[in-house]
Amino acid sequence: MKNTEIYQKIDTIILHMPDYIKDFVQDREDKDQSPRTTLEYLKNYKLFYEWLLSESIVPDTSITSIRHLTAYDLNLYKSHLKRRAKENVKKDTTKAKLEDNNNLGLSTSTINRNITALKVLFKYLSKSSNNPLGKPYLDDNPMDQVATITDKTTLAARANAIEKKLFLDEDTQNYLDYIANEYKNTLSKRALIYYHRDVERDLAINALILGSGLRLSEVVNINLDDLSLDKNNVVVTRKGNKRDAVNIAAFAMEYLANYLAIRKERYKVTENEKALFLAIYQGEAKRISGIAIERMVAKYSKGFRVQVSPHKLRHTLATRLYQQTNSLVLTAQQLGHSSTNTTTLYTHIDNAATIDALNSL
């Protein structure tokens, strides 16, 4: 999604938000903070306000009402999040599965994203004077007494679960070969038409993620001029709205070159369309969406071995790179991580040395 589209969505949402939210958004813009993150925060606040009103915690969402919120109220919202049905889970409606599905809770990361969004807002309301009042809206910050949830799953357990969905070693190339040569054998004549239209693009996207570890949003927002076949790299916008030149593995370059060779003619694209990866929407070539990429990766990976997300392809690159370099720093840099803390996960996936040591005891 382009920044102009993100700002349009932000403007639409804040039309129905209280004035202090508009001031909060303006403060983030003044500090050149990520509009994409701002948009996600606003979605979280909308859910928060809906809960406040539905539970009659406050009569409205004015700053006067927000001043009456206590840490107890906010921890009630945290409890509400923990009880909610998991988002984006397609429920199995068979009788045997209904009870299990109804017991599903929001993931820890989703709950923590909501809590973090509120912490950012309340910090602004209690600390910042960048508003028409010229002083903070709140005298204190009740969100200071609301803690995020600690993930009780160990890194080793997380790594074990993830490893089953990684295409490591020769499986990286086997997966790409499956898309190119075997997947079409499963299709109807009608589906084959779309496969042949998009196969170069689909291979390029899969190879790019497997060869660079880019995030889904980074792939979607690449423009034609961002990719350099000569330098084997691509310039992307990282988290925090930071521009970064990301190296691409050599094996992926052929797929990218093949796609570029057919892009203009195949998608009947005009010179004004700057997006690298395109899709046909209502007969017109436009920037491909994140949802379209997720669905595309899901269908190919399910046919190959196990259904995965683009993020698991990113995990695949990270694991392979760590196995080759044994360097958390290099792996973190490639992924665009600000520290090596997150990258530590990949040391647990590559546990062959630990197993060998145990077997030698």
CATH, residue 235? 1.10.443.10
- Give me the active site residues, please: 215, 239, 311, 314, 337, 346
Q: What pLDDT, on the 0 to 100 scale, is given for residue 109?
A: 86
Residue 332 placed within a domain: yes
Domain's final residue, options 145, 170, 195: 145
The secondary structure element, H or E, covering residue 27 is helix 19-30
Same structural domain, 183 and 129: no
Same structural domain, 130 and 174: no
Residue 244 placed within a domain: yes
* Residue 347's pLDDT band (cuts 50, 70, 90): confident
Q: Which two tokens stand for residue 341?
A: 């803390």
Residue 215 placed within a domain: yes
The secondary structure element, H or E, covering residue 235 is strand 233-237
Question: Residue 12 carries which side chain, given as an amino acid letter?
Answer: T
Q: What share of residues in the chain are helix, strand, coil (percent, to 5)?
A: 60, 5, 30
Q: What is the mean pLDDT of residues 287-304?
A: 96
Domain's final residue, options 124, 145, 166: 145
Percent of the chain with pLDDT over 90: 74
Domain's final residue, options 99, 116, 145: 145
Q: Which two tokens stand for residue 181?
A: 């040569």
- By residue count, the chain amounts to 361
Comparing C-alpha atoms, which of 27, 60, 55 is closest to residue 41? 27
CA–CA separation, 123 vs 199, rounded Å?
48
Same structural domain, 313 and 203: yes
Q: Which two tokens stand for residue 120?
A: 């950012």
pLDDT tens-place string over residues 263-287: 999 999 988 899 999 999 988 999 9
Is 336 within 8 Å of 215 (Cβ atoms)? yes
CA–CA separation, 131 vs 63, rounded Å?
13
Residue 250 placed within a domain: yes
* Residue 352's pLDDT band (cuts 50, 70, 90): low
Residue 8 placed within a domain: yes
Question: How many Cβ atoms from other residues are within 10 Å of residue 3's Cβ?
Answer: 13
Same structural domain, 181 and 248: yes
* Residue 94 lies in domain: 3-145
pLDDT tens-place string over residues 68-109: 999 999 999 999 999 885 544 444 433 333 333 334 568 888
pLDDT tens-place string over residues 14-60: 999 999 999 999 999 999 888 999 999 999 999 999 999 999 999 99
Across the chain, mean pLDDT equals 89
pLDDT tens-place string over residues 115-142: 999 999 999 999 999 999 999 999 999 9
Residue 218 placed within a domain: yes
Same structural domain, 45 and 81: yes
pLDDT tens-place string over residues 150-165: 866 666 776 777 788 9
Same structural domain, 55 and 182: no
Residue 150 placed within a domain: no
Question: Residue 123 carries which side chain, given as an amino acid letter?
Answer: K
Give the chain's domain count.
2
Residue 250 above 70 pLDDT? yes
Residue 327 placed within a domain: yes
The CATH code of the domain that includes 125 is 1.10.150.130
